[in-house]
Amino acid sequence: MPTKAEVFVWHKPHPRWQVGVAFLKEPRTVRWLFNYELRRQQGVTPSITFGVGLQEVGVGNPGVFATANWALTSWLKMPSSAYVGVGRRLTVKGKSLDGGWVPLFGTSVQIVKGISATVQMDGRKWHGVVSVRAGDFRLGLFAFKLKTLGILVGWRAP
């Protein structure tokens, strides 16, 4: 069943980890999300992030991922980043969906102060995000498959 609309709510209570929840209109479900930055970037050596996403019991489609992330700000002279990694969707019993691990990659750049644009590939489809930052909060529009819109809301611990 294709996704019709999503609302993502993220919270980053610690510099290395964040938690979130996504409300999906179609299929009618909730997805829980958790990311942890195992290692911070040092020079040209990337940061390493792991994550898990799980839809409510009975729906299936939990997923896991690992990415290498680079801040490109010093090289491009504007706030920007890029990542590459792998992800996998699993059944509730742990079997792989979609044939195993898929490549992940994306990039983000600050268009003007406080406004960022992101493009990412989840191994099957392209997605885009435009978001604005105001203090510890971020609000944005997520374009799933570059056509179905969703809303992003996030905040960091002060």
Q: Which residues of 20-59 are buried (b: 16+ CB within 10 A; e: fewer)?
A: bebebeeeebebebebebeeeeeeeebbbbebebbbeeeb
Lowest mean pLDDT among 8-17, 52-61, 84-93, 128-137: 52-61
Q: What ranges do the domains of the chain cover? A: 6-156
Mean pLDDT throughout 140-155?
83
Tell me the β-bridge partners of 29: 24
Residue type, 138: R
pLDDT of residue 51: 92
Q: How confident is the model at residue 92 (pLDDT cuts 50, 70, 90)?
A: low
Is the pLDDT at 35 greater than 60? The verdict is yes
Global confidence as pTM: 0.79
The mean pLDDT value of the chain amounts to 84
Res. 59: pLDDT tops 60: no
Lowest mean pLDDT among 37-41, 60-64, 107-111: 60-64
